[in-house]
Structure 1
Amino acid sequence: MLICPICSGALHTIHNGLDNGVQCSHGHRFDRARQGYFNLLPVQHKKSLDPGDNAAMVEARRRFLDAGHYAPLAARLAELAAERAPARWIDIGCGEGYYTTQLAAALPDADGYALDISREAVKRACKRAPQLTWMVASMARVPLASASCTLLASVFSPIDWTEAARLLRPGGGILRLGPARMHLFELRQKLYDEVRDYVDDKHLADLPDDLKLADTQTLEFRLPLDSHDARADLLAMTPHGWRVNAERRERILAEPFEVTVSVRYDWIERQ
């Protein structure tokens, strides 16, 4: 199902006894890294030398998620995916693989793929579930054949709707987990002098005609941030923390507090 990110031709495993790469009929070859992933992001598709999250950001998210702070989010995501019973699925923007691994456990008989533009993230992610096909690739140029998937998962990640529609078979859909209006509200209060209201359905305004919202569910709970490490990692892994000045950052890290975790799950169906 893999296609060449340069010419869109089918990619085939190179049968040389090593199983270390794939190649299309035009001779474009891509090796499998020793960690187990394919780098399918050609240099001409990069906007920087090393795009995506850096190692420090990836490690902060890994520590925070592995500590179980967002475990209810991942559990519900896996339940919703299992209800759809896809034959083939892909996690777009998989990051360090926390949610992807739980999807894989919930879909043991399905053909699973995962990609992120960050090489640092995928290097760590592919160790969690080696049975999946892991890729460093662009979310705007997913190296999978058209109409090859029945479920596309997106967790706190942007979606190229046109590309998503290309990947999905009719009746398949996008399972999107994104922030709701009150998500991390208390943290935002500490970060900003004025907290802007968050419109949690604004992403639906850009849906093309062949994608329709079929179902929406929400999940909300209170999360105590008792440890300094939890507060520091949450700041490091969210866009809210990237722009905070040093003085305000230290004030946030100094004292325990609680935040509201509030998300919505959308099932957006391919017509």
Structure 2
Amino acid sequence: MSLTCPICQSALSVVDNSVVCPAGHRFDRARQGYLNLLPVQHKNSRDPGDNAAMVEARRRFLDGGHYVPLAERLAQLAAGYQPARWLDIGCGEGYYTAKLADSLPQADGYALDISREAVKRACKRAPQLSWLVASMARVPLADASCQLLASVFSPLDWQEAKRLLAPGGGLLRMGPTSEHLMELRQKLYDEVRDYDDQKHLELIPGGMRLAHSETLSFTLQLDSSQARADLLAMTPHGWRASAEKRAAVIAEPCEVTVAIRYDWIERI
């Protein structure tokens, strides 16, 4: 185990159903199986991260199979790097994490999210992993302890990513291109803001470099009003657009473009 105390950064050891550091900071394992390593002083609100309604919407949509090709490609890429230890940063309700776990059966797997509601549901998908409620800005794992970090539709602290990666390891980042959900965005906004697919590459810190990049796109037919409502609820567009435009999207079947970029960013 390479877990570290979120309060004093010393190593954590398993004692009974808890983890404890030499200074005596103790964290109990929840009955669902996860560890809460988010001390109250590191929270910005009482229950940070996605709430139960957002988590449930994402779970329904992903379990409906709409994004299966995305998860399969992520798992294939991860398996090719053969990490000894990996971490999914911002794992949400665990759909992609479980696919990663299936493709890396021999590896030591960790997953974290700041949302307790998300992790509580996620840990049922792959009980063999170490599931953590923790901050992405203060990941409770030792320096250079991971060969692979996965970041799926998630914000990222680049300095933390660099700290966590062993030399030769890498960050597998999966995020939207400017074409992603274009038809949905055109229905929701009077003016669709364009954005640069490569902007995140400017944030890569020294000591890391882009080693591989590819995109995957396909057309998705959304005939179910529940699926359309869930897609809105799990994206920022769901709360940015007006209630009237959201209702119009939910009312009628639509076809959307799914266009995702995968980057492998190595620690030199």
What is the TM-score with the length of structure 1 in the denominator?
0.98
Partner of 2:77: 80
Letter in 1 for 2:164: L
Pairing 1:252–2:252 present: no
Of 117-126 and 248-257, more deviation after overlay is shown by 248-257
Does the Cα contact within 8 Å between 2:188 and 2:242 map onto a contact in 1? no
Report the Cα offset of residue 244 of structure 1: 2.1
Structure 2: distance between partners of 1:101 and 1:172:
21
1:235 aligned residue: 232
Identity %: 74
Aligned twin of 2:14? 13
In 1, Cα distance between the equivalents of 2:243 and 2:180? 23
Partners of 2:214 and 2:125 lie apart in 1 by: 28
1:130 matched to 2:127 = yes
* Residue 3 of structure 1: aligned partner: 4
Q: Which amino acid in the other structure matches residue 80 of structure 2?
A: E
> Aligned Cα RMSD in Å?
0.6
Structure 1 position 265, deviation (Å): 0.3
1:186 to 183, 191, 204: 183
Query: Runs of 5+ in structure 1 lacking a partner?
Result: none
**Gap regions ≥5 residues in structure 2:** none
Q: Which amino acid aligns with 2:186?
A: Q
Deviation at 1:268, TM superposition (A): 0.2
- Name the stretch that deviates more: 61-70 or 197-206: 197-206
- C-alpha separation in 2, matches of 1:158 and 1:267: 16
**1:228-270 residue CA offsets vs partner (Å, 9 max, x unmatched):** 0010000000001112222111111111010000000000000
Pick aligned residue for 1:200 from 192, 197, 201: 197
Deviation at 1:204, TM superposition (A): 1.0
Q: Which amino acid is 2:8 matched to?
A: C
1:200 Cα deviation from its structure 2 partner: 1.1
Hey, what's the Cα distance between the residues in 2 that align with 1:35 and 1:94?
16
2: CA distance between counterparts of 1:28 and 1:201? Answer: 42
Listed one character per residue, the Cα deviations across residues 96-154 of structure 1 (whole Å, up to 9, x for unaligned) are 00000000000000000000000000000001100000000000100000000000000
